[in-house]
Amino acid sequence: MTASNWLLFIANLPGRNQTLRMRVWRSLKASGAGALRDGVYALPASDAARAEFERQSREIQEGGGTAYILELARGVAGAEDDALVALFDRSTDYGELITQLAAFRRKLIKLDEATARRSLEGLRRRLGQIVGSDFFPGASRRQAEGALIDAEAAMMARFSPGEPHSMHRAIRRRNRSDYRGRIWATREHLWIDRVCCAWLIRRFIDAKAKFLWLKQLKDRPSKALGFDFDGAEFSHVDDKVTFEVLITSFGLEQDSSLTRLAALVHFLDVGGVPVPEAAGLAAIVTGARIQQPDDDALLRVVAPLLDSLYAAYSVPERL
């Protein structure tokens, strides 16, 4: 984002109301506002910045203080512009995160899956927080995003070996009537994309589907339909994960609940745009993988949860 103007927020809070002072300070810090001096804050001009300053202004005035919002044209301040931009330099924050991601990769071999996923999710949220207040992104942001991608790849290699590489090809439309009562095969020790694919197949494509969970891909029977591994009939294509490829292949794109679920699966499998329910689903599947004796049992546990999430997504105002 390149700001055309600056918004300045000048606040005078009553000294006796320390609770209000702390609440306003925390809110302004969370918004990414830069402090010019005590009681004077700046943000690049935007509707969101003005709304935040107006909200704080109302709260301060209700608490007996005064607050003013001024707009300063970019460039009018001359050399002061550089000083204002410097208030929003997030390179130190990105550097600390990169160090934390490197430490995560070093200790990954010693972590159990639940702990590793919880740790990485915390680092992913931290990156989102920094990005949310990075109004002048540069090389440090790209480096941090690259470090997160590397950490995600390391964790997938540790706990989900054999993840497929994306292929560039057209996704052929399939007729569901040709895929009834089939045998479907994928790698054992299911994670998000594979367990969600199995649910999708049985719920929307092949109600009588039978599944094989393969220790070795070479053991796949010739008549079994492969999914989510290199060389499978259904696997990653371009920027789509296997769940999304199945949706496209069988003409299910018009189901808005499925497309919302696809965004969730995509984020958990390869990253991208965060989805609010992601951490919860990842924690549940991780716990289920620990508790269930095999992948058949895992699917029996996870399928009703996905049914419930699918139903919730059909009522948008609830989520």
Contacts of 86 (CB under 8 A, 6+ apart): none
Residues 143 and 265 in one domain: no
Q: Which domain holds residue 99?
A: 91-159
Q: Could you give the CA distance from residue 271 to residue 257 in angstroms, rounded to a whole number?
A: 20
DSSP-derived secondary structure letter, 89: -
236 and 278 both lie in a single domain: yes
Residue 295 falls within a domain, yes or no? Answer: yes
pLDDT tens-digit readout, 78-120: 556 777 888 889 999 999 999 999 999 999 999 988 889 889 9
At 272-291, the pLDDT tens digits run 788 889 888 988 998 898 89
pLDDT at 240: 95
- What confidence score (pLDDT) does residue 315 get? 83
pTM: 0.66
Considering the domain architecture, whether residues 126 and 45 belong to the same structural domain is answered as no
Number of domains in the chain: 3
Average pLDDT over residues 188-214: 96
- Mean pLDDT, residues 33-43 taken together: 88
To the nearest 10 degrees (0 to 180), the angle between helices 278-291 and 113-132 is 170
In a domain, 167, yes or no: no
Asked if 205 and 309 sit in the same domain, the reply is: yes
Give SS3 for 43: strand
Q: Among 124, 159, 194, where does a domain finish?
A: 159
- Strand 183-187 vs strand 225-226: parallel, antiparallel, or unpaired? parallel
Contact present, 181 and 208 (Cβ < 8 Å): yes
Judging by DSSP bridges, how do beta strands 210-214 and 183-187 pair with one another?
parallel
Find the range with the poorest average confidence among 16-20, 127-131, 256-260, 307-311: 16-20
**Residue 149's CB: how many other CB atoms inside 10 A?**
13
The pLDDT of residue 259: 95
Is position 12 within any domain? yes
Percent of the chain, pLDDT > 70? 95
285-299: average pLDDT: 93
User: What was the pLDDT predicted at 80?
Assistant: 66
Q: Would 166 be classed as within a structural domain? A: no
**How many angstroms separate the Cα of 301 from the Cα of each of 195, 288, 296, 306, 314?**
10, 7, 9, 9, 21
Secondary structure element (H or E) that encloses residue 247, with its range = helix 242-249
Q: Looking at the domain assignment, is residue 106 inside a domain?
A: yes
Whether residue 41 lies inside any domain: the answer is yes
| 188 and 218 co-located in one domain | yes
| 216-228 pLDDT per residue, tens | 999 999 999 999 9
Which of the listed residues 159, 190, 207 is the one where a domain comes to its end?
A: 159
164 inside domain: no
Mean pLDDT of the chain: 89
Average pLDDT, stretch 192-200? 97
DSSP H or E run through 68: strand 66-73
Label residue 265 by pLDDT band (50, 70, 90). very high
Query: Residue 2's pLDDT is what?
Result: 43
Does 185 share its domain with 106?
A: no
User: Is residue 75 scored above 80 in pLDDT?
Assistant: no
pLDDT band at 317 (very low <50, low <70, confident <90, very high): low
Choosing from 159, 191, 212, the residue where a domain stops is 159
Q: What is the mean pLDDT of residues 42-59?
A: 91
Same domain, 140 and 254: no
Tell me the pLDDT band of 77, cut-offs 50, 70 and 90: low
Give, in order, the Cα–Cα distances in Å from 125 to each of 60, 108, 137.
30, 18, 17
> Is the pLDDT reported for residue 302 higher than 80?
yes
- Please tell me the total number of residues recorded for the chain in this structure: 319
Same domain, 193 and 215: yes
Burial (CB < 10 A; 0-12, 13-18, 19+), residue 201, is buried
What pLDDT was estimated at residue 83? 77
Pair 49, 16 in one domain:
yes
Q: Is residue 248 part of a domain?
A: yes
**181 with 296, same domain?**
yes
